[in-house]
Structure 1
């Protein structure tokens, strides 16, 4: 009997072969569709923000700390060694990052601007979640609802988790890890011994100072576990391949000479990016980068062109020109009035102190209620026991200009501003700094601002008062890893 090529009359063997062939064809077609979808779909974007954190991670070579999940992220992507924010405190830095423009340009330079004093953004400037929404993204603000911006406009976040997106909708998630903001928890699984850490030379090297420093590193180890949970969730949900993950700090470390100031520990931040589809694994880049470049990168990969040119450029742009300088500015911090501007190349940094008559350590409730080392070093300063480099930051006034050779003097201790051998360098940097200030419409310092705010003087307390605060800190700083401790002071959040 002749066989017919019709399924209903095929032999069992023929049916099996035909069904198998159809399945193979269908599988190949589905695979091709899936591959094409992967290639053409907009990427998801996960932006992890560490609070108050410099590049103090094991992948950056910091001694004593162990951050395996962040190290893994760096090994699977690119790590930048010269990344800087635009301001040394959260609200001004975040205002710049969420829009892509320097905070002075958009009128957001005063830290923690009161609600009634906040102004709308200039015409044509929008927070990036608003732009991403219009481009079809679901925007989520996760883990922490902290945004801290100094303008009136709504930021454009739609929910508190990327799970709330529609089917096949790309998402943008900003995730702030708040632990590294003072107060710090200790790491019971991996406590850090004080003899394994290294302090900068402008700190007194005491067991108390080492313990406070190590406590901060332990808190970062706890945040590293949170990074691991985020990466694992992306893996579990099959999102890793087409998700751009960005990890940065919002400003530098919350220690003396760090946060609130324009030395590198106040403005240098970690920057790690992973996007398996686009970024080469294990890359390390030494080019100068600003956090504004992250904003430009996010909008670039989402296919968005803002109405106004951004102040940053996409790090994934093959035609990107390397920066000659990064710029940063500091203005009011709460009720503490001061103003500084900086320009930094890979080799030199110039800081212009616009209010040199004020002490670096003029009164700030945030610092005095949160920095144990400040209490210890204030006692030693008033007792005349600090060395020359340690004592510099405790002076009653500042020089108008500070010039540092970063390559020779990475801790920024030898001010070359009055050195005739560096006169031409100072002139060039100051000229370029002033051009930048004009570009961002920097209004400088009014007399009202100069004469306002809290006391401009240091010391802010008597020796006896500083001793009392130092003693109050001791049990809290030296607490056991499993002891949450009782913070000795009511703190001012900054």
Structure 2
């Protein structure tokens, strides 16, 4: 049976603000997204999909490992975690199964990505580059057009960033469907209209990738998945453990397995994507993965896999805070472990963004009103919670009735039973998986890197056998790569975002994932081992004999 291909198309910083979510997510009816709407019509639209964190690197780590960030130490924005040894990045499992694996090009998984994970991780990576056109592929395209930074470009730069948005598709600031927790100002209206234009630009990019799949005759045997890492890049969404911070668009098209126009209202988590992809392709799901598959190689979508979705907010750059949240099909419960800390903490990067500046300026003006003995008039009570110096210890919202989370029910006697249930679900989740976000971060880093030194992966041991060169590594959790390319070949210099996100180092050598004995190639071979969070091992060169051993083996280190 032919293995299905997997095509991931992801974007940054959006909620389900796509036309196909009109009537499901407030404001989605304003979006112009014909390509994604078509994709949803041809497959399944997931109406209640949730990220594990409201910021990119922790959220992406969950997607790529199938594990909660708080369980493996990837919850702070940013960090270089050392996950437990059993944890690996998803594409490596596909590569081990014979898939050609590519990523174009963003990573940002909270770890330095080993060279064993992808066949190609670069701005030119594409399934079209696979040496064997018959080989199955796992190809990821990571779009940047909707990242929050794009909302605040100058007019000329924004016009260049949205070249494919037609004049009649442009969104007018005066028509922006602002949620009630934003002040109705020119700054917020402009940000919202630009947000929608960027989504239209992103949709055009998605359409181009889908067209290429059609051109190559691969549509019928390819699982296409569209997702965003977390919520929109505006206050009370990105960096907040709220509905807008964690609610995601998720669309899956799988011809012959998922009926066109399918709508799934079950709770799913984006960390479920890792086990779901493996399951769909008939590959084993590692026992350590904490996500639950919602796809099956035999029956398409698996229903009702989760009662709850869990998430959290931790350190955001220099702003230290801890919040945890749980969502069922109707309610969201949030627990703030530092209720005395500001809802809008001073954080260098977002403090430079126009929306954050606007909130601080309005708060200052309201303080001046009070200083004159006048009532405050620039915020509503709800909007004022964004700039408050503290926050409630507990929050709970009925999302079905109150999608913008305007009425906190945590102390409402009518909902006491629900609050108790949700509080217990969150506590049980933390106890079951552990919560490294509650640990002192300096102490956590010391456990990872004693004395501040990165641990080094052990050199692989190479054994020459009649079947070829066999490789092992004594470091638990290590992956081994091999290459025929000698050291010293010039590689590509990584861009700043690639270095920041931990993209694989380009040393000019093509590394193959070791999966079994490597036959001699008529020249030397080099082996290297990688363990997530460790320095890679030194290379070990394996020589070539005129005749392989017939009565025993020879080990090389």
Pairing 1:183–2:150 present: yes
Q: Identify the structure with the greater helix proportion.
A: 1
Residue 452 (structure 2) aligns with: none
Pairing 1:124–2:86 present: yes
Distance 1:396 1:304, change over 3 A: same
Find the aligned partners of 1:446 and 1:312 in 2 and give their Cα distance. 23
Find the aligned partners of 2:89 and 2:31 in 1 and give their Cα distance. 35
Q: In structure 1, the residue corresponding to 2:266 is in which secondary structure?
A: coil
Residue 336 (structure 2) aligns with: 353
- The more displaced of 156-165 and 43-52 is 156-165
Q: In structure 2, the residue corresponding to 1:241 is in which secondary structure?
A: helix
In the TM superposition, residue 310 of structure 1 has moved relative to its aligned partner by 2.4
Find the aligned partners of 2:440 and 2:44 in 1 and give their Cα distance. 46
Residue 200 (structure 2) aligns with: 221
Matches within 5 A, 1:49-448: 49-61=10-22, 62-114=28-80, 118-119=81-82, 121-142=83-104, 145-152=105-112, 154=114, 156-159=117-120, 160-165=125-130, 166-181=132-147, 182-184=149-151, 185-186=158-159, 187=162, 189=166, 190-317=169-296, 320-370=303-353, 372-382=354-364, 383=366, 384=376, 385-446=378-439
In the TM superposition, residue 111 of structure 1 has moved relative to its aligned partner by 1.4
- The more displaced of 55-64 and 395-404 is 55-64
Distance 1:141 1:57, change over 3 A: same
Deviation beyond 4 Å, 4+ runs, structure 1 = 446-450
In the TM superposition, residue 194 of structure 1 has moved relative to its aligned partner by 2.3
Cα root mean square deviation, aligned: 2.0
Indicate conservation of the 8 Å contact 1:63/1:197, yes or no: no
Q: In structure 2, the residue corresponding to 1:81 is in which secondary structure?
A: strand
Q: Deviations over 1:227-275 (max 9, x none)?
A: 0000100000001000000000011100010001111110111000111
Distance 1:440 1:194, change over 3 A: same
In the TM superposition, residue 309 of structure 1 has moved relative to its aligned partner by 4.3
TM-score under structure 1 normalisation? 0.79
Q: Deviations over 1:449-470 (max 9, x none)?
A: 89xxxxxxxxxxxxxxxxxxxx
Find the aligned partners of 1:303 and 1:312 in 2 and give their Cα distance. 17
Residue 447 (structure 2) aligns with: none
Find the aligned partners of 2:90 and 2:133 in 1 and give their Cα distance. 22
In the TM superposition, residue 103 of structure 1 has moved relative to its aligned partner by 1.1
Indicate conservation of the 8 Å contact 1:359/1:395, yes or no: yes
Find the aligned partners of 1:424 and 1:286 in 2 and give their Cα distance. 24
- The more displaced of 129-138 and 193-202 is 193-202
Find the aligned partners of 1:126 and 1:320 in 2 and give their Cα distance. 27
In the TM superposition, residue 153 of structure 1 has moved relative to its aligned partner by 5.3
Q: In structure 1, the residue corresponding to 2:103 is in which secondary structure?
A: strand
Residue 455 (structure 1) aligns with: none
Find the aligned partners of 1:327 and 1:418 in 2 and give their Cα distance. 21
- The more displaced of 210-219 and 177-186 is 177-186
Distance 1:174 1:423, change over 3 A: same
Distance 1:320 1:72, change over 3 A: closer
Indicate conservation of the 8 Å contact 2:279/2:285, yes or no: no
TM-score under structure 2 normalisation? 0.70
Find the aligned partners of 1:60 and 1:176 in 2 and give their Cα distance. 22
Find the aligned partners of 1:152 and 1:192 in 2 and give their Cα distance. 39
Q: In structure 1, the residue corresponding to 2:252 is in which secondary structure?
A: strand
In our comparison, the structure showing a higher alpha carbon Rg is 1
Residue 2 (structure 2) aligns with: 41
Q: In structure 2, the residue corresponding to 1:104 is in which secondary structure?
A: helix
Q: Identify the structure with the greater strand proportion.
A: 2
In the TM superposition, residue 320 of structure 1 has moved relative to its aligned partner by 4.5
Distance 1:210 1:398, change over 3 A: same
Indicate conservation of the 8 Å contact 1:377/1:386, yes or no: no
Distance 1:244 1:447, change over 3 A: closer
Residue 471 (structure 1) aligns with: none
The size of the alignment, in residue pairs, is 406
Distance 1:76 1:164, change over 3 A: same
